[in-house]
Structure 1
Amino acid sequence: MNKNFTLDLSRISKEFILLLEFLKLDGSNNVLLNNNQVLVDIDWDHFLKLTMHHRMFSVIYSKIKSLSDSIVPAFVKQDLKKQYQKNTFQMLHLSAEMEKVSKLLTENKIRVIFLKGPVLATELYGDISLRTSSDLDILIPINDLVRAEQILIEEGFEKDEYIKTVLSDWKWRHHHITYYHPKKRIKLEVHWRLNPGPRKEPDFNDLWKRKRKSSITKYPIYILGREDLFIFLITHGARHGWSRLRWLMDIHQILKQPIDWNKLKVLLNKYQCFHIGGQAIILSSHLLNTPITKEMEQFIKSNVAKVLAQDAIYYFENMINLHTDPVPEDVSKYHERHLFSLMSFEQKILFFLSFLHPYPEDAEVLPLPNYLHFLYFPLRPFLWVWRKTRKHVSIGGFNK
């Protein structure tokens, strides 16, 4: 890493710093044991909250379980052990269901790639217990969505009808549909894109050609090719502001693996996320001591990547949760700006053009029969102004 560049971590809590120090521990690195400063005045209850928020309790437990009580209080280790065991059972449960889902869809001639869950834990950590997951994420061709839904519903899954759409904008504004099995208590996210649009992405057929077979189950389970997986992990993590350290730990783990850097460079440039790759590597290096190889240096020279990496530190300064509404207004505004800064010039153009496409809210303001939905295009500016005006009046207290 460039010795002249360092991330400003001055506003990060000492408990988060300690969390990072524990994550850096390995058999040959026990610097922490000789550095009492990082252990002074630690709020261990807050530390435990951080491990839960960042979904790092399993990895942390594996790092600290053998440390003496003078370093980590017994109640902390006991709490982490309980969460670790709970997660292990959850991942075993998901593993069994993963195999069933793979077999079910494959036997119905639907190609499926598993994105996260136990298969990712095995791929990156070599142990399903060391990564947390609350659901299964699969990727299938968009043309198979209707058939897949019928199959899943017949198996007892229920669809979460949260997507509102007009003129088929769901195909690019969204990227997955959620199903839940009430008896098995399994949540399954069926993706047709890796990330929401509008942005250029690899075609499913290309991803399928580069797929790999996992050894986690007897029945074949397919995962993304290593370079495609890296792109998925960085774009997913960046889209969420790296607000959970688990996503950055995934980067730390995959960077230890044999990546075809020339192939990756071509793909990152093609899908306009070279700078996001740089952001991820910088964060992983600075926070988790990921070794920077000669092949990685080309990705971290960019000033854009450095600025993006520093901007992401905001999400570590507090336990920011982007998944639970309502998100505080200041956090929401910062996140909107950060998402925009992640876009390439072409992506920004597509982003602005996307506003010209009708939104479901337009149909709510002015319901029209399906055969007249094309009128939402010319009406879009007027409907947008109307919604903003009504929102302003409501906030002002004149229409309660």
Structure 2
Amino acid sequence: MTLQLLPQESIKYKTASPIANLRPEINLLLCCTRIDIDTSTASQIHKLLQTDLDWNYLLQKAYQHGVFLLLYQSLQKTHPELIPQNISDQLHTYCQIKTARNLFLAKQLCQILDLLGTDNISAIPFKGPTLATLAYGNLALREFSDLDILVRKDDYLRAKELLIRQGYRHKYFPEDEVAWSQAQLIRDDGKVGIDLHYDMVTKDSFFPLDSTPFWQRLEPLSIAGQTVATLQPEDAVLVAYIHGSKEDWRSLKRVCDLAELIRAYPQLNWEQILEPVERLGNKRGFLLALLLACNHLSLPLPEVVSQKFKVPPQLRFLAEQLYEQLVCDAELENQLTPCDGLSFFIGGLSLVRIANTDSFTVRVQYCLDIAFRLNERDRAFFLLPDFLYFLYYPLRWFRLIKTYKFGKDKILNLSKLLRCS
């Protein structure tokens, strides 16, 4: 399938200006979650800070989306005098604690890499301190809680046993390792968690990216005063795409990660990035991710991408809707979007999952699977005897239409999204 292209001049991008139907706290958060604050965005921040803000709500959302550090940095760079003193104290205290934690984990990472190296085990750190440094240029600007390390599959068991001898234990059931391609370990004192990977993707990943080539193109990076070998920026972009898509882009931090990587490396080799995306049938999903990232920082799509792929209107529509509801009030399982369009989920149906594959057949199979997946709410809707169990299936459709207010327009939008190529 090929993506149908629109003329480049017809593609419209968001600006940093507030979105009319979102709370001022949310618009302030969206304006502040970026490294570079231009004059226009600084002006918007100033206007929003002069409104009657619910600061507790704002801090709760920043914490929920893992962007507290970015919020604090932006407020300090622009108009710290407009922050109530008690809120400023809370922000300062929390960010001091998080920054100290980040520095501690960065030093622990270097020690773990040295430990693995003494046993001739090559390792690639990614996410965590390395992504904070690559994308944000500062360990004090990205929140993380554990360390992600990739080792070769042949070294995996040896690396895990070495860490266990150093006082680490399984955080969760070890039988899940094959499905997740990793062991989640935690130190006995609970202060350091490690996700030890032997692959970047899970067994049933939507994007079965082979991480073997990563080992041939590592680049040096200075972390906590020590040089480590980590992913080159192009591979870091692909990994950021994988992790954002696994979460259906419901975390603002994941959008910021991808956006700041693109901002930090304007000379990215997009041909190298797009090759596995095309080969593995993820053009739609990757375009959606780029639209979210570029919308957030008010950037155009990279020229190479816009020349190679055309953007289906339905995909642009979905990206705009998802961006606007990233941090909205509604519980996404049960509400429609603020713009009365599509939502992340409708009756358990993830529209991002639909966008993540180029295969029309896979999209339809996914929708049918959700349509016939009975749950307790279906059984509670009507209590039927066992011999009438088959009636739960048509009743489920009735319940979904009633609960999620499926109308002609929304069904039409969904069908367009399924069919757009």
Q: TM-score range by the shorter chain?
A: 0.7 to 0.9
What aligned pairs does 1:200-211 form with structure 2 within 5 A after superposition? Answer: 201-211=208-218
* Structure 1 SS opposite 2:196: strand
1:345 is aligned to 359
Deviation at 1:339, TM superposition (A): 2.3
Whether the 8 Å contact between 1:50 and 1:319 is mirrored in structure 2 is no
1:367 is aligned to none
Query: Out of 47, 66, 69, which is 2:58 matched to?
Result: 47
Whether the 8 Å contact between 2:187 and 2:193 is mirrored in structure 1 is yes
Query: Out of 56, 61, 74, which is 2:67 matched to?
Result: 56
Q: Give 2:39's aligned amino acid.
A: N
Deviation at 1:12, TM superposition (A): 3.3
Q: Give 1:53's aligned amino acid.
A: Q
Question: Aligned residue pairs: how many?
Answer: 354
In 2, the alpha carbon distance for the partners of 1:64 and 1:286 equals 21
Q: Give 2:84's aligned amino acid.
A: P
Deviation at 1:221, TM superposition (A): 2.0
2:250 is aligned to 243
In 2, the alpha carbon distance for the partners of 1:347 and 1:95 equals 44
1:225 is aligned to 232
Residue deviations 1:69-122, cap 9 Å, x none? 663323332222212111110111101110111111222222211111112111
Whether the 8 Å contact between 1:24 and 1:289 is mirrored in structure 2 is no
In 2, the alpha carbon distance for the partners of 1:34 and 1:388 equals 45
2:144 is aligned to 133
| Residues 194, 298 of structure 1: alpha-carbon distance in 2 compared, 3 angstrom cutoff | farther
In 2, the alpha carbon distance for the partners of 1:69 and 1:122 equals 25
In 1, the alpha carbon distance for the partners of 2:162 and 2:347 equals 40
* Structure 1 SS opposite 2:201: coil
Query: Out of 16, 25, 30, which is 1:15 matched to?
Result: 25
Q: Give 1:294's aligned amino acid.
A: E
Whether the 8 Å contact between 2:124 and 2:230 is mirrored in structure 1 is yes
Query: Out of 307, 312, 317, which is 2:322 matched to?
Result: 312
In 2, the alpha carbon distance for the partners of 1:340 and 1:175 equals 24
Whether the 8 Å contact between 1:157 and 1:180 is mirrored in structure 2 is yes
Give structure 1 regions of 4+ aligned residues with deviation exceeding 6 angstroms. Answer: 319-322, 395-399
1:102 and 2:113 matched? yes
Deviation at 1:334, TM superposition (A): 4.0
Residue deviations 1:195-247, cap 9 Å, x none? 32244534343110122221225655221122111011012112212222111
TM-score, normalised to structure 1, is 0.75
In 2, the alpha carbon distance for the partners of 1:300 and 1:282 equals 12
* Structure 1 SS opposite 2:82: coil
In 2, the alpha carbon distance for the partners of 1:213 and 1:320 equals 42
In 1, the alpha carbon distance for the partners of 2:45 and 2:220 equals 43
1:215 is aligned to 222
TM-score, normalised to structure 2, is 0.72
1:360 is aligned to none
| Residues 225, 332 of structure 1: alpha-carbon distance in 2 compared, 3 angstrom cutoff | farther
Whether the 8 Å contact between 1:56 and 1:245 is mirrored in structure 2 is yes
Query: Out of 234, 243, 250, which is 2:241 matched to?
Result: 234
1:382 is aligned to none
Q: Where does structure 2 lack aligned partners over 5 or more consecutive residues?
A: 1-7, 334-343, 387-421
2:199 is aligned to 193
In 1, the alpha carbon distance for the partners of 2:219 and 2:182 equals 22
In 2, the alpha carbon distance for the partners of 1:106 and 1:35 equals 47
Q: Give 1:146's aligned amino acid.
A: L
2:93 is aligned to 82
Whether the 8 Å contact between 1:279 and 1:300 is mirrored in structure 2 is no
2:395 is aligned to none
| Residues 321, 244 of structure 1: alpha-carbon distance in 2 compared, 3 angstrom cutoff | farther
Percent identity, aligned pairs only, is 19
Query: Out of 177, 181, 184, which is 2:187 matched to?
Result: 181
| Residues 217, 319 of structure 1: alpha-carbon distance in 2 compared, 3 angstrom cutoff | farther
Whether the 8 Å contact between 1:139 and 1:192 is mirrored in structure 2 is yes
In 2, the alpha carbon distance for the partners of 1:226 and 1:241 equals 22
1:282 and 2:291 matched? yes
Superposed CA RMSD? 3.7
Deviation at 1:134, TM superposition (A): 0.4
In 2, the alpha carbon distance for the partners of 1:145 and 1:332 equals 40
Query: Out of 253, 261, 270, which is 2:279 matched to?
Result: 270
In 1, the alpha carbon distance for the partners of 2:384 and 2:148 equals 43
| Residues 141, 199 of structure 1: alpha-carbon distance in 2 compared, 3 angstrom cutoff | farther
Q: Where does structure 1 lack aligned partners over 5 or more consecutive residues?
A: 323-329, 356-384
| Residues 311, 241 of structure 1: alpha-carbon distance in 2 compared, 3 angstrom cutoff | farther
Residue deviations 1:347-375, cap 9 Å, x none? 939x98xx9xxxxxxxxxxxxxxxxxxxx
Q: Give 1:178's aligned amino acid.
A: Q
Whether the 8 Å contact between 1:281 and 1:300 is mirrored in structure 2 is no
Deviation at 1:305, TM superposition (A): 3.9
* Structure 2 SS opposite 1:254: helix
| Residues 110, 311 of structure 1: alpha-carbon distance in 2 compared, 3 angstrom cutoff | farther
Deviates more, 1:5-14 or 1:123-132: 5-14
Whether the 8 Å contact between 2:42 and 2:78 is mirrored in structure 1 is no
Whether the 8 Å contact between 2:281 and 2:359 is mirrored in structure 1 is no
Residue deviations 1:49-69, cap 9 Å, x none? 111111111112111115446
Deviation at 1:23, TM superposition (A): 3.5
Q: Give 2:237's aligned amino acid.
A: F
| Residues 335, 320 of structure 1: alpha-carbon distance in 2 compared, 3 angstrom cutoff | farther
| Residues 15, 260 of structure 1: alpha-carbon distance in 2 compared, 3 angstrom cutoff | same
Deviation at 1:22, TM superposition (A): 2.7
